[in-house]
């Protein structure tokens, strides 16, 4: 559409100049037609140049689109790496939690077994001390002798039904 409007304008200008030219020199329609053809050829060359420029611009836009696609692929790769790292951190925290729970369980189990052993040893020591009747008889004999001279010790032994 631009081309036809431009050609019409050029034709009108050429006709106007040719009308003025009739007054000054002998202008024929063939001359006007040749001038119009030359002007049309120049315009056609301009439009071909513009078309080439638009094609170059289209190629540049295609290159930019390719670059954006490459950037999108890179961002997708980075996103995948980040999600893999996040998953790895979750796995590590799960392993750490499991280790801590196992350690706490081991501590409580070990503590209960140590307490049981110490109680058992204490009971065994008490039983061993009571089993030695000879030592108990000697202590009672000494306390009875002491009770003969000390009335407070005698009262305590009477209350315990030992005297």
pLDDT tens digit string along 20-63? 555 455 668 888 888 888 888 888 888 888 889 999 999 999 99
> Is residue 118 within a helix (H) or strand (E), and if so which, with residue range?
helix 29-131
pLDDT for 120 equals 80
What is the span of the domain harbouring residue 151? Answer: 132-163
Three-state DSSP at 150 gives: coil
Is the pLDDT at 7 greater than 80, yes or no? no
Residue 11: the pLDDT is: 66
Q: What CA–CA distances, in Å, run from 107 to 55, 94, 101, 116?
A: 78, 20, 10, 14
Same domain, 42 and 82: yes
- Which string of b and e fits 35-74 if b means at least 16 CB within 10 Å? bbeebeeeeeeeeeeeeeeeeeeeeeeeeeeeeeeeeeee
16 and 76 co-located in one domain: yes
Q: Are residues 7 and 57 in the same domain?
A: yes
Same-domain status, 70 and 8: yes
Answer yes or no: do 52 and 21 share one domain: yes
79 and 107, same structural domain?
A: yes
78-124 residue pLDDT tens: 999 999 999 999 999 999 999 999 999 998 888 778 777 877 887 77
| Whole-number pLDDT of residue 17 | 63
Q: Which is more confidently placed, 83 or 156?
A: 83
- pLDDT number for residue 55: 92
Q: How many domains does the chain have?
A: 2
- Same domain for 126 and 96: yes
Q: Is the pTM of this model over 0.75?
A: no
Both structure tokens of 130: 């009571």
117 token code pair: 């052993």
Assess whether 84 and 136 both reside in one domain: no
Check whether residue 146 and residue 113 sit in a common domain. Answer: no
Q: Is 98 found in the same domain as 141?
A: no
Residue 68 sits in the same domain as residue 145: no
Are 143 and 162 in contact by the 8 Å Cβ rule? The answer is yes
67 and 34 fall within a common domain:
yes
C-alpha dihedral, 6 to 12 to 17 to 21, nearest 10°:
140
């Amino acid at each position: 559409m631009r081309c036809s409007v431009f050609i019409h304008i050029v034709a009108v200008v050429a006709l106007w100049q040719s009308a003025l030219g009739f007054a000054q020199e002998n202008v024929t329609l063939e001359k006007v037609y040749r001038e119009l053809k030359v002007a049309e050829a120049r315009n056609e060359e301009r439009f071909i140049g513009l078309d080439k420029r638009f094609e170059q611009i289209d190629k540049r836009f295609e290159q930019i689109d390719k670059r954006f696609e490459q950037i999108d692929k890179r961002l997708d790769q980075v996103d995948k790496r980040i999600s893999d790292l996040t998953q790895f951190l979750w796995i590590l925290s799960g392993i750490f939690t499991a280790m801590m729970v196992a350690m706490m369980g081991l501590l409580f189990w070990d503590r209960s077994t140590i307490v049981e052993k110490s109680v058992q040893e204490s009971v065994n020591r008490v039983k061993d001390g009571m089993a030695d009747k000879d030592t108990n008889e000697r202590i009672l004999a000494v306390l009875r002798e002491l009770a003969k001279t000390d009335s407070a010790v005698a009262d305590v032994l009477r209350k315990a039904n030992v005297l």
